[in-house]
Structure 1
Amino acid sequence: MNTCLVGYGRVGKVTALALSRDYNVNVVVFDASGQRVNEARRKGLEAFLTDASNPGMSSRIAAECDVVAV
């Protein structure tokens, strides 16, 4: 099961780390900031640089994930 998290800001970081560490959930991060994507990867998360506000991209994210959190 993939839980996709759109945004790795202050709240996204806490959410991603809690889900992955405390609940052993596979979290995939999507963010428009290269710095945040690199930070997520350093934490061991799968992360992609993308603009999820683009309708085509948000549809692709939704299709690849079992759960999407924004």
Structure 2
Amino acid sequence: MEEDRTLQAMTLYMEEGKAAWVNNSSIEENPPPIGMYTFQRTIEEGSNGLYILSVVAYRHEKEAHRFTTYLLGK
């Protein structure tokens, strides 16, 4: 059950990050924890001119899950 909530939270954080990107808003880099998981959300510029949005879930300070998507340049 906690695993399901974690993956749902990651999906939400990914969608929030994409919406913030489209609206030129800042994103919260460290969204609130869920259960035993903490999260980090980042946007980096890739070498090909695209931007990369990543959401990482950590459990006991070790990476447990990672979602990554590309964003169109601004």
TM over 0.5: no
Structure 1 or 2: more strand by fraction: 2
Structure (1 or 2) with the larger CA radius of gyration: 2
Which protein has greater RCO, CA pairs closer than 8 Å, 6+ apart? 1
Normalized against structure 2, the TM-score is what? 0.28
